[in-house]
Amino acid sequence: MLSLNLTHLLDDAKCYETMRQMRWSSEVCCPKCNSLSVIKRGKDETQPHRQRYQCKTCSAHFDDLTDTIFANHHQPLRMWILCLYLMGLNLSNQQISQELDLDKDVVQDMTTLLRQGIVQRKPEVKLSGTVECDEVYVTAGHKGNPEAVLKKGEKGDGIASKGFGAEARLRRKSHPFSA
């Protein structure tokens, strides 16, 4: 009997296309100086759909995956895209590991990274540390532990405003799924 495997149904070209849309939406932006003056510089030698670029402002070379969580990871991009898709369907890490035929610990690492955003945050972003912690706590609190949320709320304005930030982040990140 034929067993269907999701990972074999996905086209690498489409995955890179999706990746570019998630990352840049319209114009490619230099990860070093944020310039939009960027030219294409051929494709990656081992991954034929991975576009390379050069910035005309600062001359930096980069590609579709530079500075993203996918850059130095051995899983192919389609595994990440599928993982993101299955997360959007609210599957558990256990279910995702079965669908993708990956170890549960590997999936745990991947979903954790994906929740932090696909572009790696640079240290100069002042609020990132706080915001990321809150996101985890607020989500867990709302879903599984309403008492803890109430208790946190009693501590004052700080928690309430941080909670709002976390929800805003979640909304923004859910955008690629709905596209």
Contact segment (CB under 5 A) with Zn ion among 29-37, 94-102, 149-157, 169-177 equals: 29-37
Per the document, the length of the chain is 179
Residue 33 interacts with Zn ion (CB under 5 A): yes or no: yes
Residue 38 and residue 8 in contact, taking contact as beta carbons nearer than 8 Å: no
**Shortest reach from residue 36's CB to Zn ion, in Å:** 10
Binding Zn ion by CB under 5 A: which of 12, 20, 35, 165? Answer: 35
**Shortest reach from residue 39's CB to Zn ion, in Å:** 11
Tell me which H or E stretch contains 174.
helix 157-178
Quick one: 25 or 34, whose CB is closer to Zn ion? 34
Contact segment (CB under 5 A) with Zn ion among 16-24, 25-33, 103-111, 165-173 equals: 25-33
Quick one: 41 or 151, whose CB is closer to Zn ion? 41
SS3 category, 13: helix
Contacts of 57 (CB under 8 A, 6+ apart): 30, 33, 35, 37
β-pair type (38-43, 61-63): unpaired
- The CA-based diameter of the chain, rounded to the nearest angstrom, is 60
Quick one: 35 or 116, whose CB is closer to Zn ion? 35
Quick one: 37 or 94, whose CB is closer to Zn ion? 37
Site residues for Zn ion, 39-58, by CB under 5 A, read: 55, 57-58
Residue 30 interacts with Zn ion (CB under 5 A): yes or no: yes
Question: What is the C-alpha to C-alpha distance for residues 155 and 136, in angstroms, rounded to an integer?
Answer: 18
Residue 173 interacts with Zn ion (CB under 5 A): yes or no: no
Q: What is the DSSP letter of 6?
A: G
